[in-house]
Amino acid sequence: MLSKMPRSLLTGLSLTFALILWEIVGRHVDPIFGSHPLAIAEASVALIRSGAIFKALGESLQPFLVGYTAAVVLGVPLGLLLGRYRVFEALFGIYVTAGYAMPLVALVPLLTLWLGLGFAVKVAIIFLMAIFPVTINTWLGVRAVPKSLIDVGRALVAPDSVILRRIILPATLPYIVAGMKLAIGRAVVAMIIAEFFTSMAGLGAIIINSANNFDTATMFVPVFVLVMLAIGLTSLIGWIEKRVAPWQAEIAGRQES
């Protein structure tokens, strides 16, 4: 029976059940150690009326958008080169793999020494956390392109640039989108880490100040804002994919059915 219900309805039922359960359990928890949805909603109203949440969101979004955009703009071409050219992969692939595996949070103190505590270091942290998922997924996508498609292009005497643009890039698009979605989560985490370690501003400042004052309900408000931001951006990328590559949406729909 559940398998026949629309996905949006199933998601709504799941969220409703989770919120009700949280409300019931949260009311029996010490407010210092936890909270419940109604208390968080009241704290949200207070932050909205004061305008603090909008100011903090604006301060956080500026380095996020710059760092994430730079990661996508540089990560996609780098992944295409790694996947397409064996020499390039042999020379630089090891650094991309190592960068993804490296605990980049450990580099934050060093980055602050180089770039200070302002806007630049936040952009750098977000960029470094976001570029590797985009690059690696694009790299894997190029390697997954069927060799028969490339052979067709070569049979038509198409130059490498045309094969890359007309054959490889469209076939790799689902992998690129997947990498961009993964990078959103890492970029959001990087944004908060940057605000924790550098200048106390934005949503990270609200989290820290609320935690120091044992105001758990207020602390949850920017957390939910970050969750909604990540979900919204992920949905936006999916919407863009449907417009740029509608054939991928048709394939996904057939697989779900």
Residue 227 has pLDDT above 70, yes or no: yes
* Residue 255 domain-assigned (yes or no): no
Residues 130, 67: contact at Cβ < 8 Å?
Answer: yes
- For the record, the structure tokens of 16 come out as 């409703």
Residue 94 has pLDDT above 80, yes or no: yes
Query: How would residue 95 be classed by pLDDT, with cut points 50, 70 and 90?
Result: very high
Residues 252, 210: contact at Cβ < 8 Å?
Answer: no
CA dist list (Å): 137 to 99, 185, 186: 14, 15, 14
How far is 202 from 34, CA to CA, in rounded Å? 22
Query: In terms of pLDDT, which residue wins out, 30 or 94?
Result: 94
How far is 8 from 235, CA to CA, in rounded Å? 13
Q: What range defines the domain where residue 198 resides?
A: 63-206
* Residue 176 domain-assigned (yes or no): yes
Helices within 202-245 (DSSP H only): 202-212, 216-244
Q: DSSP string of 35-56?
A: --HHHHHHHHHHHHHHTHHHHH
User: pTM for this one?
Assistant: 0.86
Mean pLDDT of 191-200: 81
Radius of gyration over every alpha carbon of the chain, rounded to an integer in angstroms: 22
* Residue 214 domain-assigned (yes or no): no
* Residue 128 domain-assigned (yes or no): yes
* Residue 227 domain-assigned (yes or no): no
Contacts of 191 (CB under 8 A, 6+ apart): 60, 63, 64, 67, 122, 125, 126, 202, 203, 204
Domain at 109, CATH number: 1.10.3720.10
* Residue 102 domain-assigned (yes or no): yes
pLDDT in tens, 83-92: 888 888 899 9
Domain count, the chain: 1
Mean pLDDT of 182-199: 87
User: What's the confidence (pLDDT) of residue 238?
Assistant: 83
Q: What is the DSSP letter of 33?
A: T
Query: In terms of pLDDT, which residue wins out, 84 or 6?
Result: 84
Query: In terms of pLDDT, which residue wins out, 160 or 119?
Result: 119
